Amino acid sequence: MALSNNVIGAINFVAMLLSIPIIGAGIWLATEPDNSCVKILQWPVIILGILILLVALAGFVGGFWRIPWLLIFYLVAMLILIILLACLVVFTYMVTIKGSGHLEPSRAYLEYHLDDFSGWLRRRVQSSYKWDRIRNCLSSTTMCAELNQSYRMALDFFNAHITPLQSGCCKPPTACGYTFVNPTYWISPINNAADMDCLQWSNEQTQLCYNCDSCKAGLLANLKKEWRRADIILVITLVALICVYLIGCCAFRNAKTEDLFRKYKQGYV
C-alpha cells in the first residue's frame, strides 16, 4: 500500500503543477486591457486553477501521509473540477465560434460588425450600463494614442495590421469615407448614411468611436482572439489532468486492494 500511496502523492504533485498554466492563463487574461475592462473569463479561470491546486495538494498530503478520507475527498473533488474545466473549455469555444473581420478596399486592417458575434457575447456589451463602464475603461488606455506615434502618413496607416480594438474604437468606419489627418483625427465624411457609426465618430480624443457598435465589435473580436489562446492552454491542461486523474484512480484502487489483501493475510495467519 505504501508504494501505491507514494504513486498517488507523486501524481498529485504533477496535478499541482498542472494548475499553474490554468492560473497563468487567467492572470494573462487579466493583464490584457480589453479583458481587464470586461472582466468575464479571467476570474473563473483563476478560481478554477486555485481550486485544482488546493485539491491536488490535498491528494498529495493524503497520498504520502496515508489519509484515506483525504484521498476520497481528492477523487471526488478533482472529478468535479475536471468536469467544470471541461464545461468552461466547451463554453469558451462555443461563444467564440462566430465573429470575424471584413476586408475593405485598400485597407490591410479589418472592419468588425457586432451582429457577427454570438448572442451571449453581444449581451455583454449591448446594455448602456455595462458599456458605459467598459467605454470609460477603454478610453483611459493608450491604445489609440499609440497609433498616432506609429503612423504619420495615411498610406502607412492603411497598410497597418492594427488590432480589432484599435480598428473599431480609434477610427471611423471605412464606409463613411472620412479623410485621414492622423489615425485618430478624420474629417469630411463622404457618406454619413453608410453606417450608424458614422454619426457617432468624434475627433474629441476622449470619445473617438468608443460609442460605436464597431468599437463593441472590435472589443469582442479582441476577446475572441485572446480567449481562443487561453482555451488552447486549458484544453491541453484538461487532457493532462484527466490522464493524471485516471492514474490516481488506478493507484487508489490498487492501494485498497493491497490493504484488503494484507488484512486477509493477517487474519489467515
pLDDT tens digits, one per residue of 116-155: 999 999 998 988 888 999 999 999 989 999 999 999 999 9
For residue 212, what are the domain limits? Answer: 105-220
Residues 85 and 167 in one domain: no
Task: Note the pLDDT tens digit of each residue in 199-245.
Answer: 999 999 999 999 999 999 999 999 999 999 999 999 999 999 999 99
Residue scoring higher pLDDT (31 or 265): 31
Half-sphere exposure of 242 (CA within 13 A, CB side): 10
pLDDT of residue 261: 43
Residues 228 and 151 in one domain: no
Residues 239 and 186 in one domain: no
Phi, psi of 181 (to 5 degrees): -110, -50
pLDDT of residue 262: 52
Residues 156 and 54 in one domain: no
As a whole number of angstroms, the distance between CA 49 and CA 238 comes to 11
Residues 27 and 60 in one domain: yes
Tell how far CA 109 is from the center of its chain: 23
Q: DSSP labels for 82-104?
A: HHHHHHHHHHHHHHTSS---EE-
Average pLDDT on 253-268 reads 52
Residues 6 and 94 in one domain: yes
pLDDT of residue 237: 96
Task: Note the pLDDT tens digit of each residue in 29-87.
Answer: 999 888 888 888 999 999 999 999 999 999 888 877 777 888 889 889 999 999 999 99
Q: DSSP labels for 234-249?
A: HHHHHHHHHHHHHHHH
Domain count, the chain: 2
Residues 111 and 201 in one domain: yes
Name the DSSP letter for residue 113: -
Q: 180: which strand partners?
A: 186
Query: Is residue 171 predicted with pLDDT exceeding 80?
Result: yes
pLDDT of residue 143: 92
Place of cell 468606419: 173
pLDDT of residue 264: 46
Last residue within a domain, chosen from 220, 236, 254? 220
Residue scoring higher pLDDT (252 or 49): 49
Residues 34 and 72 in one domain: yes
Query: Is residue 1 predicted with pLDDT exceeding 50?
Result: no
Residues 85 and 114 in one domain: no
Residues 57 and 118 in one domain: no
Select from 107, 114, 112 the least CA-distant residue to 178. Answer: 107
Last residue within a domain, chosen from 188, 204, 220? 220
Helix axes 68-95, 2-31, angle to 10 degrees: 30
pLDDT of residue 66: 76
pLDDT of residue 59: 86
Tell how far CA 37 is from the center of its chain: 13
pLDDT-based confidence at residue 2 (cuts at 50, 70, 90): very low
Residues 151 and 165 in one domain: yes
Residues 149 and 254 in one domain: no
266 CB burial (10 A radius; 0-12, 13-18, 19+): exposed
- The model carries a pTM of 0.87
